Amino acid sequence: MKLSESLAENAVEVQTRASTKQEALAQLVALVERTDGFADADSLLAEISEREELGSTGIGKSVAIPHVHLENVHEMHVAMMTSSSGIDFDAIDDEPCRIFIMVVAPDSDREQYLTLLAEISRLFRNEDVRSEVLAAQSVPELIEVLRKSETP
């Protein structure tokens, strides 16, 4: 499963104005809400905030992958945004996060969920990918960076 194929353009934001972790989560939820078939933003924000209290999804190297699987969701929803200034996300390396990918998956399909999380983690280990994503000035440009960076 490829990240670029999981993202709808209307669920991506380049250079968000969010400046706090809670604002970033709320903006990602708003982006997920734009995807087809998703309708419960209030519940998602509560669930994802609760998940973050268990431990930050800031995986280091300026990347955060807030993720949750829910019973009332019937298909995978993915949103992505970047931040030019970085946001304190309590990441494991204590550095601000600048790339955010939210994954919301059905509770019944954990295999696809875990596969996508692994792909995102693998993709963003690459410093060049992170740099190119952050340099993207538009949503189509960001998605094209992902496409060319993903394994065929």
What token pair was written down for 152? Answer: 């065929």
- Neighbouring residues of 77: CB distance < 8 A, sequence distance ≥ 6: 11, 32, 35, 37, 38, 103, 104, 105
**Segment holding 114, helix H or strand E:** helix 110-124
Which residues, including other chains, have CB under 8 Å from residue 137's CB and lie 6 or more apart? 14
Tokens of 147: 């496409």
The tens digit of pLDDT for each residue in 56-97 reads 999 999 999 999 988 888 889 999 999 999 999 999 999 999
Q: Is the pLDDT of residue 111 over 90?
A: no
Structural Rg of the chain based on CA atoms: 14
CA pair distance 111, 105, nearest whole angstrom:
10
Percent of the chain scoring above 70 in pLDDT: 99
In three-state secondary structure terms, 60 is strand
Domains of the chain from N-terminus onward: 3-149 (3.40.930.10)
Q: What pLDDT does residue 100 have?
A: 98
7-33: pLDDT as tens digits: 999 999 999 999 999 999 999 999 999
Q: With the CA atoms of 110, 111, 112 and 116 taken in that order, what torsion angle do they form, in degrees rounded to the nearest 10?
A: 100
Mean pLDDT of the chain: 93
- Please tell me the predicted confidence (pLDDT) of residue 74: 85
Structure tokens at 111: 């295999």
Q: What confidence tier does 142 reach under pLDDT thresholds 50, 70, 90?
A: very high
How far apart are the C-alpha atoms of 61 and 122, rounded to whole Å? 12
The predicted model gives 133-138 an average pLDDT of: 97
